[in-house]
Amino acid sequence: MMHFTCDCCGTSIRHERYVARIEVSPAFDPDEICEDDLDSDNLEQIAEALHSLETTDDFDLEDCSPKSFRFDLCASCWRRYLKDPLGRDALRRLNFSKN
C-alpha cells in the first residue's frame, strides 16, 4: 500500500489526495522590428558578444529549460491552494514588527 504525505502541511493523506502539477518555462515574445534594427550591423554585434564570451573565464548562463513540479495535497491544502495558487494572500498576512 502506498503512503502519501501532504507536501504543504505534512499530514498523512489517507483518503482524498490531490495532485498539483506546475510547469515553469521562459516566455519568449517576438520582438518588433523597426527601421533602426534593419540599419544596424548585426554581424558586428554578434562578433562582439562571442568575443566577450570567449574572454570571460566564468560566465554564468542561466538554465532556461522548462521546470516541472508535482505536489501531493490533502483536501484542506488543495482548497487553500485553489483560492490562492501563488500564495499572495499568505504574504500579505505576514505582520512584521517595526524594530
pTM reported for the whole predicted model: 0.59
User: Highest-confidence range of 17-21, 27-31, 87-91, by mean pLDDT?
Assistant: 17-21
Residue 43 pLDDT: 82
Q: In angstroms, how far is CA 59 from the centroid of its own chain?
A: 22
Compare 76 and 65 and report the one with higher pLDDT: 76
- Cα–Cα distance between 28 and 23 in angstroms, integer? 15
- Cα–Cα distance between 20 and 69 in angstroms, integer? 8
CA distances from 76 to 34, 88, 94 (A): 52, 18, 21
- Cα–Cα distance between 56 and 68 in angstroms, integer? 32
Does residue 79 register a pLDDT over 80?
yes
Q: Using one digit for the tens of pLDDT, what is the confidence trace for 31-51?
A: 777 777 677 777 887 888 888
